[in-house]
């Protein structure tokens, strides 16, 4: 099978400037919450300790926020610029960097959210044993193992064919092309290990956590007790919205695999290009909504945001008041003359 040349601007590009401007504006909507939101999460957690959840949950929140910030900074910004100028302007080195960071970041993010939900289920199911399992000295080795395992995909690019990279006009971002015959086998192995298995575990853990939440809610209503739900809801919403944002692209991968022999003919149709673009853009939602999830589910984080906003508004109001008081009153010459006369008298 011959891989289509997605760097062909005539077949896959968008020549209409208005459409590209609308597309770039849509990405900017994701860009600011991704950068500012994830910086806020990191500052709130690392500096102010404003996310008061289980220490393991907080650790994963910090790593996910850092990954989303890196992806937004290194991928979304070049993509917006490429859309506006209708070509890649950042040079070959950054093109390679974007490809490796994109694949590395998405693989790591999936594995972190998978481990995130699994750890939460273990904490709820085995509360006594989890105190030993999730001791602080185990945090760094677990995170390091995730980073190393996720690096398998970009390392495979370097080993099989490191130069097989081009600018993809379907997404206006550099991408790997998979033209080597070796990928016929390796793409299946890596997709199963780094994609299918983590997503299956994530779906299973999300289902188990949902069942736990329903049982706990019924038990609390039956006994007229209370249930500390904020940590569980935080994990559930993060996992559920992540899977929803990746669902269009997952369906594209399945369809592309089934239509493998006809792919070269199908890829140039407007419907295929449009769906592929939509499926890729919805993936960026996962780097945007986390700050809204935490503000909704974590009271300490919500209080932190409210306090910072109130403090900023009070400073602005106070600065305006001081500035108004410091302005000299403008009096007419006749008024000044009368004032000086009365003073002399």
Q: Which residue has the tokens 């932190």?
A: 304
Query: Ramachandran region of residue 168, left (φ > 0), alpha (ψ -120 to 50) or beta?
Result: beta
Contact 150, 108 (CB under 8 A): yes
Supply the pLDDT for residue 301.
94
Selection from 157, 163, 169, 164 nearest residue 267 by Cα = 169
Q: What are phi and psi of 233, to 5 degrees?
A: -65, -40
Supply the pLDDT for residue 326.
61
Selection from 146, 297, 195 nearest residue 236 by Cα = 297
Query: Ramachandran region of residue 311, left (φ > 0), alpha (ψ -120 to 50) or beta?
Result: alpha
Query: Ramachandran region of residue 182, left (φ > 0), alpha (ψ -120 to 50) or beta?
Result: alpha
Q: Is the dihedral of CA 324, 327, 332, 336 positive or negative?
A: positive
Supply the pLDDT for residue 61.
94
Supply the pLDDT for residue 127.
87
Q: Answer yes or no: CATH 1.20.1070.10 is held by domain 9-297.
A: yes
Selection from 101, 100, 76, 79 nearest residue 88 by Cα = 79
Supply the pLDDT for residue 36.
93
Supply the pLDDT for residue 328.
54
**Model pTM?**
0.86
Average pLDDT for consecutive 10-residue bins of the chain (345 residues)?
79 90 90 91 93 91 94 91 94 93 92 94 89 84 92 92 92 92 90 92 95 87 72 93 92 75 64 88 87 92 92 77 61 45 34
Q: Which two tokens stand for residue 319?
A: 């600065």
Supply the pLDDT for residue 305.
93
Q: Measured between alpha carbons, how far is 217 from 167 in angstroms, rounded to an integer?
A: 51
Contact 61, 45 (CB under 8 A): yes
Task: Enumerate the β-bridge partners of residue 167.
Answer: 174
Contacts of 67 by beta carbon, 8 Å cutoff, 6+ apart: 105, 108, 109, 112
Contacts of 261 by beta carbon, 8 Å cutoff, 6+ apart: 1
Q: Measured between alpha carbons, how far is 84 from 325 in angstroms, rounded to an integer?
A: 46
Q: What are phi and psi of 165, to 5 degrees?
A: -130, 140
Q: Which two tokens stand for residue 257?
A: 């695999």
* Domain-wise residue ranges, the chain: 9-297
Selection from 141, 136, 116, 123 nearest residue 64 by Cα = 116
Buried b (16+ CB within 10 A) or exposed e, 34-45: bbebbebbbebb
């Amino acid at each position: 099978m011959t891989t289509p040349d997605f760097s062909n601007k005539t077949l896959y590009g968008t020549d209409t400037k208005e459409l590209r401007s609308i597309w770039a504006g849509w990405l900017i909507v994701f860009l600011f919450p991704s950068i500012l939101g994830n910086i806020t999460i990191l500052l709130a957690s690392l500096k102010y300790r404003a996310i008061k959840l289980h220490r393991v949950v907080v650790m994963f929140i910090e790593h996910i926020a850092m990954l989303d910030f890196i992806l937004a900074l290194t991928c979304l910004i070049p993509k917006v610029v490429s859309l506006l100028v209708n070509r890649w302007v950042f040079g070959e080195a950054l093109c390679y960097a974007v490809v490796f960071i994109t694949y590395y970041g998405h693989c790591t993010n999936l594995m972190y959210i998978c481990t995130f939900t699994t750890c939460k289920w273990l904490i709820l199911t085995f509360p006594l044993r989890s105190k030993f399992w999730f001791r602080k000295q185990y945090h760094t080795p677990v995170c390091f193992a995730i980073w190393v395992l996720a690096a398998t995909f970009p390392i495979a690019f370097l080993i099989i064919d490191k130069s097989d990279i081009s600018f993809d006009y379907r997404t206006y971002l550099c991408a790997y092309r998979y033209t080597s015959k070796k990928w016929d086998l390796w793409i299946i192995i890596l997709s199963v290990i780094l994609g299918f298995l983590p997503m299956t575990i994530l779906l299973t853990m999300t289902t188990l956590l949902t069942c736990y939440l329903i049982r706990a809610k019924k038990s609390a209503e039956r006994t007229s007790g209370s249930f500390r739900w904020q940590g569980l809801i935080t994990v559930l919403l993060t996992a559920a919205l992540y899977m929803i944002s990746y669902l269009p692209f997952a369906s594209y991968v399945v369809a592309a695999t089934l239509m493998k022999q006809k792919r070269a003919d199908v890829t140039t149709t407007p419907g295929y290009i449009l769906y592929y673009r939509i499926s890729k853009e919805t993936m960026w939602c996962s780097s945007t909504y986390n700050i809204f999830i935490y503000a909704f589910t974590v009271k300490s984080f919500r209080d932190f945001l409210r306090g910072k906003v109130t403090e900023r508004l009070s400073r602005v109001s106070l600065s305006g008041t001081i500035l108004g008081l410091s302005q000299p009153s403008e009096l007419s010459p006749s008024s000044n003359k009368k004032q000086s006369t009365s003073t002399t008298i």
